[in-house]
Amino acid sequence: MSACQLIGQWRITSSDLWDNEHLDLCGPAMMTISEGGHGEIAFGAMQASLNVEYSQTMVFFIWAGFDEMDEVTGSGNAELLDDGKLEIEFAYHNGDEATLIAKRQGK
């Protein structure tokens, strides 16, 4: 886990499904990957906690949270790209699937 290069805070900058106005609807769209199998993601009106499994340049996660006050769940993964950006495959259970792109916060 400590060798995972994705641990940290990531600013979600684009999506193939939603425009930037939607992504930043309730504040800056963010994903945080923490040590200990945890993380968080927030974009649009959705906020969720992540249960994370790590490899060196990729994480897999299941998530649970709220979108416009409705309970939502899903799964996904995030992979570190050669250009240093993060590509996030994000899926709602029985719902939308999206690809999000993020850059490391503060860089």
pLDDT for 2 equals: 56
pLDDT on residue 103: 98
In eight-state DSSP terms, residue 55 is -
Condensed to tens digits (0 to 9), the pLDDT of residues 17-60 reads 999 999 999 999 999 999 999 999 999 999 999 999 999 999 99
The CA distance from 98 to 82, in Å, is: 20
Closest CA to 47 of 28, 21, 20, 19: 28
Mean pLDDT of the chain: 95
Q: Does domain 8-104 have CATH number 3.60.150.10?
A: no
Burial class (CB in 10 A: 0-12, 13-18, 19+), 16: exposed
Residue 107 pLDDT level (bands cut at 50, 70, 90): low
pLDDT confidence band for 85 (50 / 70 / 90)? very high
Tell me how long the chain is: 107
Give residue for tokens 């993601």.
41
Residue spans of the domains in the chain: they are 8-104
pLDDT at 3: 85
